[in-house]
Amino acid sequence: MKIAKHFASIFLLCMWLCTGASCAQKAVETVETRGVYGNPKPLWDKGYDLKELGVNAIFVHSGSINADMMKRAKSEGMKIYAEFATLNGKGYVEENPEAWAINEKGEKVEAATWFMGVCPTEPGFRQYRFGQLRDLLLEFDLDGVWMDYVHWHAQFEDPEPILPETCFCNHCLDGFSTETKLEIPEGTTAEKAEWILKHHDESWRDWRCKVIYDWTFEMKKIIKEVKPNALLGLYHCPWNDEEFDGARRRILGLDYELLRKTIDVFSPMVYHGRMERDPDWVQENILWFGNQLNITKGAYPKVWPIVQAHNSPGTISSEEFEDVLWGGLAGSSSGVMMFTTSSVAEDEGKIAVMKKVYTELMKGR
């Protein structure tokens, strides 16, 4: 009886604390980003004000940003982040074949379904992309830039990923040889690739991760020069260390221990429908990620996942969308957004879910 009374007092104390301002304030402080990914126009066209929906940040492809959008989004209190497509080569490699990624047979790679990567060490391409970033930062008053397609040529968004061995072009072979001080024996490209993969696989994987990290390093440097307060975010493959035989690091070249030095905010692309996973996987993955990187709320790097609202392939119900939104806020996540704004705008049920979740976050959970 006495014990029961004691528990009742604790329970009442908790109730009092959690209905008080401190709890609400804490939740607001810890979940700082209630985002949407995509041009906000579909929501505006339907007469919505983003702020009234609980949204406080938009993530928009850099090519879709214009002065009118900036003005209206700022007037509704939004933070504005530009998605910056980084290592996709479609439209570039056709015109500049020297930047075409080369496989272990010494051949130009084929597109990986809808994605065509580029050789990340080709100097002309590097100059081109870095110039684009500079121009973007000078033109618009952005709160940050989210790098997208930051990996070696591959396709990780499909249920059956495409994971080729690249890139064995002369720039990459020279770069690897210089960095590791390994002299690659004379021969065809295919023979050189075979020698590397057979005798120096580990050094090769390490070097490839450094090349990807170097992209984030250079991007951060440009941001620090042009717009020092802007954040550097990363949309990335969400696989853990084991999936597909460690392909996130082995093939894509994503090494979190390197990337955490430059990336302010990680946005794992936890597209459960597209990758044919259960909605629960989103929460599991975000908990894993937070633990793996030892993420602490209120400190950098932060985690703001992107979850799937989009109906293709299959249909994502409103209930499922709510599950993955909460899943994206699991553990040490301090924000969330969904793919895409238009997928939410076209479905009243999803608009209602987003408004409910985001409003709850504003009030405190």
Question: With CB under 5 A as the contact rule, which of the stretches 170-178, 198-206, 236-244, 354-362 interacts with Zn ion?
Answer: 170-178
Cα 257–Cα 180–Cα 204 angle in degrees, nearest 5: 60
- Pairing mode, strands 265-270 and 302-303: parallel
Q: Which stretch binds Zn ion (CB under 5 A): 160-168, 237-245, 311-319, 338-346?
A: 160-168
Residues contacting residue 68 through CB under 8 Å, at least 6 positions apart: none
Residue 167 is a binding residue for Zn ion (CB under 5 A) = yes
Extract long-range pairs of 274-280: CB within 8 Å, 24+ residues apart: 274/157, 274/158, 274/159, 274/308, 274/310, 274/313, 275/157, 275/158, 275/159, 276/159, 279/320, 279/323, 279/324, 279/327, 280/323, 280/327
**Placement of tokens 């790098």 in the chain:** 147
Beta carbons of 188 and 103 less than 8 angstroms apart: no
Q: Exposed, middle or buried by CB within 10 Å (0-12, 13-18, 19+), for 360?
A: middle
Task: Name the residue nearer to Zn ion (CB basis): 44 or 195.
Answer: 195
The answer to the question of residue 193 lying near Zn ion (CB under 5 A) is no
337 in Cβ contact with 57 (< 8 Å): yes
Check the CA dihedral 8-9-11-12 and report its sign.
positive
- Binder among 60, 82, 145, 172 for Zn ion (CB under 5 A): 172
**Chain mean position to CA 344:** 19
Which range of residues in 141-149, 165-173, 196-204, 214-222 is near Zn ion by CB under 5 A? Answer: 165-173
Q: How far apart are alpha carbons 120 and 211 in whole angstroms?
A: 7
| Binding-residue total with Zn ion (CB under 5 A) | 5
Q: Which of 55, 136, 169, 324 binds Zn ion (CB under 5 A)?
A: 169
Q: Smallest gap, in angstroms, from Cβ of residue 120 to Zn ion?
A: 7
- Name the burial class of residue 9, with classes exposed (0-12), middle (13-18) and buried (19+) by CB atoms within 10 angstroms of its CB: exposed
Q: Which is nearer to Zn ion, 119 or 307 (CB)?
A: 119
**Among the candidate windows 28-36, 132-140, 145-153, 172-180, which touches Zn ion by CB under 5 A?**
172-180
Judged by CB under 5 A, the chain residues 224 through 283 that form the site for Zn ion are: none
Among 55, 65, 93, 119, binds Zn ion (CB under 5 A): 119
**Nearest distance in Å: CB 196, Zn ion:** 13
Q: How far is the CB of 343 from Zn ion (least distance, A)?
A: 36
User: Smaller CB distance to Zn ion: residue 124 or 349?
Assistant: 124
Sign of dihedral through CA atoms 291, 37, 272, 319?
positive
Cα dihedral sign, 307-214-32-15? positive
> What's the closest the beta carbon of residue 122 comes to Zn ion, in angstroms?
6
Dist CA 247 CA 133 (whole Å): 28
Considering only the stretches 22-30, 84-92, 113-121, 315-323, report the one whose residues sit in contact with Zn ion under the rule CB under 5 A: 113-121
How far CA 57 is from CA of 33, 99, 143, 295, 354, in Å, comes to 6, 35, 9, 21, 13
Q: Which is nearer to Zn ion, 188 or 294 (CB)?
A: 188
Q: Does 173 bind Zn ion (CB under 5 A)?
A: no
Residue with smaller CB distance to Zn ion, 171 or 277: 171
- The residue (of 65 and 172) whose beta carbon lies closer to Zn ion is 172
Question: By the 8 A CB rule, do 120 and 212 touch?
Answer: yes
Span of 33-41, 105-113, 162-170, 195-203 interacting with Zn ion by CB under 5 A: 162-170
Q: Closest distance between Zn ion and the C-beta of residue 245, in Å?
A: 23
Which one of the spans 167-175, 208-216, 225-233, 255-263 is the region binding Zn ion (CB under 5 A)? 167-175
* CA gap 62, 52 in Å, rounded: 25
Q: How far is the CB of 168 from Zn ion (least distance, A)?
A: 7
Binding site for Zn ion (CB under 5 A): 119, 167, 169, 171-172
